[in-house]
A and B are shown apart, each in its own frame.
Chain A
Amino acid sequence: MTDNWIVAELDPVRRLRVLAAAVPGAVRHREIVLPVPVDRVWAVASDLERELPRLLTTVRGFRFTGGEGERLRAHAVGRFGQRADFDVVLRPGWCLMRSRFVLGAMAAVPEGEGTRFATLGGFRLPGARLLSPLTGLLGDVAIRRLAEHPALQD
């Protein structure tokens, strides 16, 4: 009988909401609905080496350096030359990036004929919530740049 009982599923956007509420220093959580199918949105968003420098004003370069499967390593260079190594978890609809000081994440699920796309960012520092206005502004810019991305226009 128990085989017939329903199981509640948690899609990637819901999982990102959980992390946004639970991870210390996660201060930038945004969601947007794009009128583009999820596979097209994710093809752009998950191309981290090409797109992160376009979407994030603070990133100048991002290169994978190792790892396998969905667990990867990457090296990022900031706009002012600062460098950081990232642990990355990347799979369809889900991306989580963590360096020593920074957290970044994205999630995407189908919504109607479009896509619900979510981002999360923050600093792994005490008092990170004081930086909320700044990171909120950066998140808004990234979301807007994704929505206006040439590959996502009909």
Chain B
Amino acid sequence: MEQQTGPGGTSATGIDPALVRAAQQGDPLALADLMELLTPYVGRICGPIARQDGPDAAQDALIVILRGIRQLREPAALLGWARTIAVREAVRVAQRAGRTVTAPLDELRAAGDPQLATDVEDALARLTPEHRAVLVLRDLEGVDESTTSSVLAVPLGTVRSRLARARQSFRKVWES
């Protein structure tokens, strides 16, 4: 069962369906309120995948989400739909920026070091955007492999191999 965590830590049902419907009718205040609710959630997905281009990715993802909100038939499906868009926009923006570092992981600091957050960022930087997306979906969002495969439009085997590679990179951080 995949985890359903919403903006600001609320449950998936925490977004008022009436707000979604008002946004679907084009009400500017409703669209702005929905943007405020979705921004932390979208930012949490776009940050690790697009890294320093995360704000660009989050901005583009929210534009796609709010422009397409009329197509959403069921308000309860909002977060899953937004997550798919955020992941795809983050990968697209990160690929366009082409900032992936391909150097080995040997230089990373040991776990417990005050620079731990920097080390995590370093480990992320050495993965491709596609690998980061798998890691975010599986380990940060708690999404199952099948859903991850669907969100990224890649075969299940590809999800597994990317996840193994991504987790191996992080293991080197903790064990170094």
A142 within 8 A of B: no
Q: Is the interface of A mostly helix, strand, loop or mixed?
A: mixed
Given contacts A10-B62, A15-B39, A18-B66, contact A23 B28 (CB under 8 A): yes
B151 within 8 A of A: no
B67 contacts A21, C-beta separation under 8 Å: yes
A26 to B26, CA, bound (A): 10
Contact of A14 among B50, B55, B121 (CB under 8 A): B55
B40 within 8 A of A: yes
A57 to B9, CA, bound (A): 44
Binds B, one of A1-9, A29-37, A129-137: A1-9
Tally of A-B Cβ pairs under 8 angstroms: 96
In the assembled complex, the CB of A21 is this many whole angstroms from the nearest CB of chain B, namely 4
Contact of B62 among A18, A24, A26, A96 (CB under 8 A): A18
B51 within 8 A of A: yes
A31 to B46, CA, bound (A): 25
CB-CB under 8 A from A19, the residues of chain B are: 28, 31-32, 35, 66
CB-CB under 8 A from B36, the residues of chain A are: 15
B63 contacts A26, C-beta separation under 8 Å: no
Instruction: Count residues on chain A whose CB falls below 8 Å from chain B CBs.
Output: 28
Instruction: Count residues on chain B whose CB falls below 8 Å from chain A CBs.
Output: 37
A7 to B120, CA, bound (A): 13
Q: Is the interface of B mostly helix, strand, loop or mixed?
A: helix
A8 contacts B28, C-beta separation under 8 Å: no
CB-CB under 8 A from A21, the residues of chain B are: 63, 66-67
B80 within 8 A of A: no
In the assembled complex, the CB of B153 is this many whole angstroms from the nearest CB of chain A, namely 22
15 CB contacts below 8 A, A to B, read A2-B140, A6-B48, A6-B54, A7-B47, A8-B42, A8-B43, A8-B50, A10-B59, A14-B58, A18-B62, A21-B63, A22-B31, A23-B31, A105-B28, A124-B26
Please give the residue numbers on chain A whose beta carbons come within 8 Å of chain B beta carbons, in ascending order.
1-2, 4-11, 14-15, 17-19, 21-26, 87, 89, 96, 98, 103, 105, 124
